[in-house]
A and B are shown apart, each in its own frame.
Chain A
Amino acid sequence: MMKYLSLFLIAFSAAAQPAKIVKLPELKALLNAPSDKIQVINFWATWCAPCVKELPLFEKLGQEYPNVKVTLVSMDLDLDPNPDKVYRFIARKKIQSDVLILDEKDPNSYIDQIDKRWSGALPATIIINPKTGQRKFIGRELHEGELEKLIAEIQ
């Protein structure tokens, strides 16, 4: 019985990894990890309307560009300690990209460690070419076609 149940659960959550709750060092490791792929890291939250609006652009990017790795970093825990809202959102929207949920205190000290150009306002996106070390920061909502252009500029 348990076997079938777990098979069912695996099938149900098929594509994406479950969202993982991380601390700052893990996020910084991702920002600095060596990779052949362009890293696109988007900071968002379920309550943030412009974030939710631009999420399909990141989903599409991750599916259509094999040389790009998209990671969505949820900042929801800064306002609400319960991550259930994020899990439900991922299931409802069938999010395929990897999702991390940042669990940290003291935004004033960690925001600069993520990117000095970031005010802390959501949404925010960092595009990294790990091979050259080039890093773009976009502190606003992105629109159709912009991500592709930004990636072309950094490749």
Chain B
Amino acid sequence: MYNPNPQRMLKKMFTVLCGVLLLTAGAPVDNGYEVGDTVADFKLKNVDGKMVALSDYKDVKGVIVIFDCNTCPYSKGYNDRIKALHDKYAGQGFPVIAIQPNDPTISPGDSFEEMKKQAEKKGYKFPYLFDETQQVAKAFGATNTPHVFLLKKEGNAFKVAYIGAIDDSAKDASAVTKRYVEDAIEALKKGVAPATTKTKAIGCTIKWRNA
């Protein structure tokens, strides 16, 4: 094949090669949503066997999407705080949707059966969805558990308003000084932009399926 621009051709081949390398690394290919991005609809199986879609949430002001799991000690440490977030804010138009993205072949304690047990034992009043293909976690760019994406509803669209941790003290709920998610919701309720829109925390990496 004659190619008038071999340099460009090489560049293209290199790009493809990099893509293949990234894929084989088993990590997400792109970096996911940023604050302000519109979230694509998703539909996943809940622990009660029913499918739940983001677009099912019609009469809300927003949604607190939390990538979470059964096994991570950080998830365990935040369990009561996640339930408290839903109890406090579902009635104010910001319910929790928890999504479990770990591959159960790597983390058997995060299988769908174990998720059902966890939701029942802990009395979850919010959906606990299984992201079996990990496509939703990849689309969001979730990295840790628990990892929060606070979404704000604008018309029919959900836009990312905050990404990160629930608060600034994983080990001790009584030592929290910054309630990132609550502060962001309070700002949205007032119609202003949250002061802090992105935070980082130590946590468990999402257990990506081996490529």
Contacts and interface: CB of A to CB of B under 8 A. Distances in A.
A122 B203 contact: yes
B204 A48 contact: yes
Given A79-B74, A106-B168, A119-B144, A111 B25 contact: no
Contacts of A153: none
Chain A: interface size category: 20 to 34
Contacts of B170: 78-79, 107
Interface string B141-155: 001100000000000
A140 B27 contact: yes
A96 B25 CA distance: 29
Interface stretch (B117-125, B126-134, B194-202): B194-202
Chain B: interface size category: 20 to 34
Contacts of A105: 168-169
B95 interface: no
Interface in B20-74: 25-27, 73-74
Nearest to A121: B205
B202 A120 contact: yes
B58 to A, nearest CB: 32
A78 B205 contact: no
Nearest to A51: B205
A140 B202 contact: no
Contacts of A119: 143-144, 200
A122 B171 contact: no
A108 B201 contact: yes
Given A47-B73, A80-B171, A120 B204 contact: no
Given A75-B202, A79-B73, A121-B205, A107 B143 contact: no
B206 interface: yes
Nearest to A81: B171
Given A78-B171, A79-B170, A139-B143, A122 B204 contact: yes
Interface string B132-176: 000000000001100000000000000000001100111100000
A146 B46 CA distance: 38
Contacts of B77: 79
**Which of B107, B204, B208 neighbours the largest number of chain A CB atoms within 10 Å of its CB?**
B204
10 contacts: A47-B73, A75-B202, A78-B171, A107-B170, A107-B200, A107-B201, A112-B200, A119-B200, A121-B143, A121-B202
Which 10 interchain pairs have the tightest Cβ spacing?
A121-B205, A119-B143, A108-B199, A111-B200, A120-B200, A121-B144, A78-B202, A47-B73, A120-B202, A79-B171
